[in-house]
Every structure is written in structure tokens, then in C-alpha cells.
Amino acid sequence: MPINILGIESSCDETSAAVISDTKILSNIIANQEVHQKYGGVVPELASRAHQKNIIPVVDRALAEANIDKKDLDAIAYTRGPGLLGSLLVGSSFAKSLSLSLNIPLIEVNHMQAHLLAHFIKDNSENKTNFPFLGVNISGGHTQIVLCKDYFEMEIIGETLDDSIGEAYDKCGKMMGLNYPAGPKIDEFARKGNPTKFKFSIPKVSGLDFSFSGLKTNFKRFIEDKSSSDKLFIEEEKENICSSLQETITKILVDKIIQASKNTGIKNIVFGGGVSANSRIRESANRELKKFKLFFPKIEYTTDNAAMIAIVGYLKYRAKKFTNYNVESKARYDI
């Protein structure tokens, strides 16, 4: 009999539920919270309220789409952290109550591990990687290079010292008047632009760490300078600006991946997180990392989703790593 697990994700501004049967995803429902768009970033209080409103309909839809009855579930997996505490509490309370009422195991999942294990979903790729691999976690909250020795044996070997790569996209996008999250919009405009038209600063950070705050300041000055003499500058040049910004961010990332591989001798690279949906990063990695074995999750498993929580739930179920009801949610939770 296959193992059926319900995964629940509520760490930030997506309420998501997914059903997995062994390693195959049967449903993956995601409710995006559009309420944050006009604020230029996620408003924690509004996110918790939206999770409360969404969680029951999202879980109901995930079960219906999977054609699975609650009584056929073997376990409930949920995001324990990291994330916004109020948002995490909605998902964890719901998961605990459901697991108690169905009398089935509860499984806590680290959201950042889940981003890096999403490619173990069976319908994802024929081409599975082996351990060890280098995990490149690039999202709105994190930028990490992770040495992954086994499913649950991961070590951060490089990370951002300030803003995350997703914040670089979102904050620069906001300066251009784009709604949150700006990453996908910048990606879209950039496709029609010239990546070498404008030059932005590449930070000098030693080792495998990253920094994006200097780039943000550089970008802010550039936009202010150009717009002060030409009010239509952003409107007329948005495709070139986005393309040049994206090129700079991509170069920062690819250079660090090459360095991490040199340091560790590992050539299997697994990408995860919302920014790994970026078309230029995918293109550039495929071109410049030809000698590497690259694994990108399917686009629907890059930004926050419960399918990745469900696959980790399955892997933990197999390893009998179950969770007590007194386990607390964690806003900060090391990988």
C-alpha cells in the first residue's frame, strides 16, 4: 500500500496543502495572498489572518483533487520554520489538530530543507542526484549554499551577510514602482532587454558568503540620478534596467557556485527557492556550469508550496522521524 501524506505550508504569504502518495504528488494547492502587493512586502499580521481564512478551503481542495479521503492519510507533515511566527502557528495548530483527530503521526519539516529536497518528487525529473550535493537555496528570506551530505544532514557553507537575493529583486523592483513580489516581473521585462546596457556593482565578499545591500544602494542611486534628469527614464528603459540588474545578480550567484564547487570538489548542484524560477539564472547556470550536474525543481515547486513539505514528510515517515505535539514553531530554524 502506498503511503499517503498531507503536507501543509504556511511560513510566509502562501497558504498551501498537498497530498503525496509515496513520492508522487497527487495535488498541490496554493493560495497566494494578494493583500501584500500594495505594501511592497509581506505584512505579518495580514498574512496570519489570510492563512486562517484560507487553510480549511485549501486543505479541502487538496484532498478532493487528490481523490483521497482523510481516513486514508498516513501522516500530516507541516512547516515548523523558519518563517513568520504568526503564519507558522496557523499551519502548525491545524496540522496538530488534524493529526490528533485522525490519530496519525505528525511530522515537522524545516522549510529550507524542503526547498532543497523538492527535486526528490517523482514527477519532477527523471534525473535524480546523489549525495553529496551542493544546495543553492535562493528565496525571499534566504541565500545559502548548503553542503548536503544526506537527506537530513546539511551544513551551510555560505550565506548572505545582509539582504537575501529575493529581497534584492523585490526591493530594486519597488524602487522602479513594481508591486511585490517584483522578481517574476523583473524576469519578464529582462527577457526583452540588453543585459550589458547598465553596470551595477559586484560586491567583494570573501569566501562563499554573499552581500546584496551594496547592490541595492548602488541601484537606488542610479535610479534617483537618472530619474532626476529624465522623468520617463524608468518607463522607457525598464527592460534594459531589469536585464542589467538580473545579469549582475546572476553573475554574483554563479561565481559563488563555481567557488563552492572548487572548495568542496562537488559538482552536483541542486537549486531551490523562489528565485530558482528565474529564467536568466537557469540559462546562465546551464551555459556556464556545463561540467556540473544541475537540478532545478519544476517551476511550481520553486516558490513556496506544500508539495515540498509533503515529500520531506514522506522521507521522514520512511525514517520514522515523527514529532511530538509539544514541539514549538520556530521563526528561526537552522537547516
Residue 157: Cβ-neighbour burial (10 angstroms; 0-12, 13-18, 19+): middle
Shortest Å, Cβ 158 to ligand KG4: 18
Beta carbons of 259 and 123 less than 8 angstroms apart: no
277, 294, 307, 315: which one binds ligand KG4 (CB under 6 A)? 277
9, 14, 108, 304: which one binds Zn ion (CB under 5 A)? 304
Look at phi and psi of residue 168 and say left if phi exceeds 0, alpha if psi is from -120 to 50, else beta: alpha
Beta carbons of 106 and 325 less than 8 angstroms apart: yes
Main-chain phi, psi angles of 223, to 5 degrees: -65, -45
Chain centroid, CA 267 distance in Å: 22
Is 209 one of the binding residues for Zn ion (CB under 5 A)? no
Shortest Å, Cβ 5 to Zn ion: 19
Main-chain phi, psi angles of 14, to 5 degrees: -120, 130
163 or 304: CB nearest Zn ion: 304
Is 167 one of the binding residues for Zn ion (CB under 5 A)? no
Is 275 one of the binding residues for ligand KG4 (CB under 6 A)? yes
- What is the DSSP track for 286-314? HHHTTTSEEE---GGGTSS-SHHHHHHHH
Is 146 one of the binding residues for ligand KG4 (CB under 6 A)? no
Is 79 one of the binding residues for Zn ion (CB under 5 A)? no
Question: CA 146, 149, 152, 154 torsion: positive or negative?
Answer: negative
Shortest Å, Cβ 9 to ligand KG4: 10
9, 163, 170, 247: which one binds ligand KG4 (CB under 6 A)? 170
Q: Answer with the entry of ligand KG4, Zn ion, none that 237 interacts with (C-beta below 5 to 8 A by kind).
A: none
Residues facing residue 294 across a β-bridge: 269
Find the binding residues for ligand KG4 in span 15-34 (CB under 6 A): none
Is 140 one of the binding residues for ligand KG4 (CB under 6 A)? yes
Contact footprint for ligand KG4 (CB under 6 A): 12, 139-141, 166, 169-170, 181-184, 187, 273-275, 277-278, 303-304
Contact footprint for Zn ion (CB under 5 A): 139, 304
